[in-house]
């Protein structure tokens, strides 16, 4: 067993430091603007709109997305992206007046671990004032062509990557009807025995001027649940669900690509009276988070395009800050890059509570990766929002932190490979 004092000679690394920080190329705001305008050009992408029209409706949009992901595969990935339309038949129900052929566009970059998935997602459907109006123009430039453009750009930025975990670039439909596309996709992967270790949905990331008049071009919100909707119970904290660890991870990792762009942690699953495509993944016990601009403009969401009482309504491209959307794409691609290369997170992480003690003992199972460099313990006081200390503990499976009481601090354990890529941190389960 390894004994560590707070002042011992083994390295204490600041949480914001990475052993081997890496960057990726800059995202292209111009390229993303073209993607957003192309999606807008389909007139409406309402899930109930035509699936056969060659120029207008959701069918034309999904065929273009399939073609674009296929082009990205050829140009950036040496044809390694596996691109498909995943179809689901929706029966009539709320916001669905008739049977609907729903299709998600799925582009998979296989990793050496085919069952461990990292999902980067946006929804390509759109609505006007009425969710069941399949005929009205619903440009959906910000909600959510911006998110889908960020997914496309992330796929470009990660070209040439040979990941350990499998990356899925996902564009879903049916979000505006009730998160149907993401729910069906999550349930399918669950049935197939896949493990989604991280799901990141990009929804309303156009950086527009909000209804308040405020606009922050250098900050995006990251929503995450604090207690897991499903899966193992978190004991001793209301702030350490797997999704919360993913939010902290993406905030840290993205800093090395864009140090001036702030990922602002919002400790809620989502906004009041709203819902996003990460929720179905949370409901199945998976780590999933949502990125959204800091100030939303409700005149430009879910509205028919019109002028009324001197106010312009409608989700149009001229409201979108394309440079902002590019920063979001680069941040997500940078964090996905590290996470996809990192070893699997440590399993069966426990904190010993058998005896009263001023010290804290943590245990976990050793990973089998050949390039595993070891582990690190993350530490923070119970009232801190993010990790404040990081102790490297080598290739050990047990550590006792001297004079650090489990009553006063929170802990997590992460795995590290020889290139410095860090896994998601795992919060410990109490063990008597």
Q: Which residues pair with 172 in a beta bridge?
A: 123
Over range 269-290, report the average pLDDT: 96
Average pLDDT of the chain, as a whole number? 94
The domain limits of the chain are 2-20+345-431, 29-341
Q: Where are the beta strands (DSSP E) in 252-405?
A: 262-266, 288-292, 306-308, 311-313, 347-352, 360-365, 372-381, 389-394, 398-402
Query: What is the pLDDT at residue 6?
Result: 46
The 3-class SS string of 3-30 reads: EEECCCCCCECCCCCCCCCCCCCCCCHH
- CATH code for residues 2-20+345-431: 2.60.40.10
Domains 2-20+345-431 and 29-341 share a fold: no
pTM for the model stands at 0.94
The domain 29-341 belongs to what CATH superfamily? Zn peptidases (3.40.630.10)
Over range 409-418, report the average pLDDT: 97
At 212-258, the pLDDT tens digits run 999 999 999 999 999 999 998 999 999 999 999 999 999 999 998 99
Query: What is the pLDDT at residue 182?
Result: 98
């Amino acid at each position: 067993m390894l004994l560590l004092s707070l002042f011992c000679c083994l390295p204490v690394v600041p949480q914001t430091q990475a052993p081997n920080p890496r960057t990726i190329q800059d995202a292209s705001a111009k390229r993303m603007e073209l993607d957003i305008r192309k999606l807008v050009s389909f007139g409406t992408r309402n899930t109930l709109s035509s699936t056969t029209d060659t120029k207008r409706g959701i069918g034309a949009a999904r065929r273009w997305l399939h073609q674009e992901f296929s082009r990205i595969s050829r140009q950036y990935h040496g044809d390694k992206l596996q691109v498909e339309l995943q179809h689901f038949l929706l029966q009539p129900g709320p916001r669905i007046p008739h049977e609907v052929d729903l299709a998600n566009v799925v582009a998979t970059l296989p990793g050496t671990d085919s069952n461990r998935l990292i999902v980067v997602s946006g929804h390509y459907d759109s609505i006007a004032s009425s969710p069941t109006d399949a005929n009205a123009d619903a440009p959906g430039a910000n909600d959510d062509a911006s998110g889908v453009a960020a997914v496309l750009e992330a796929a470009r930025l990660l070209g040439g990557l040979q990941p350990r975990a499998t990356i899925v670039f996902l564009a879903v439909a049916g979000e505006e009807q009730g998160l149907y596309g993401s729910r069906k996709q999550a349930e399918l992967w669950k049935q197939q025995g896949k493990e989604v270790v991280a799901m990141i949905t990009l929804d309303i990331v156009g950086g527009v001027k909000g209804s308040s008049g405020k606009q922050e071009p250098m900050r995006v919100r990251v929503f995450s649940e604090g207690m897991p909707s499903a899966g193992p119970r978190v004991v001793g904290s209301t702030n350490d669900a797997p999704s919360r660890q993913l939010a902290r991870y993406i905030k840290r990792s993205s800093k090395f690509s864009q140090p001036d762009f702030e990922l602002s942690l919002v400790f809620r699953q989502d906004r009041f009276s709203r819902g996003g495509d990460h929720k179905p993944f949370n409901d199945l016990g998976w780590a999933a988070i949502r990125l959204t601009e800091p100030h939303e403009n409700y005149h430009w969401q879910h509205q028919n395009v019109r002028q009324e009482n001197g106010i312009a309504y409608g989700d149009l491209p001229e409201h979108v800050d394309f440079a902002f959307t590019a920063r979001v794409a680069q941040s997500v691609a940078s964090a996905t890059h590290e996470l996809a290369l990192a070893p699997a997170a440590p399993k069966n992480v426990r904190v010993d509570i058998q005896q009263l003690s001023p010290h804290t003992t943590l245990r976990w199972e050793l990973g089998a990766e050949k390039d595993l460099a070891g582990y690190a313990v993350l530490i923070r006081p119970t009232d801190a929002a993010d990790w404040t200390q990081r102790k490297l503990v080598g290739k050990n499976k047990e550590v006792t932190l001297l004079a650090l009481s489990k009553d006063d601090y929170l802990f997590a354990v992460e795995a590290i490979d020889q290139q410095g890529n860090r896994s998601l941190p795992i919060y410990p389960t109490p063990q008597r």
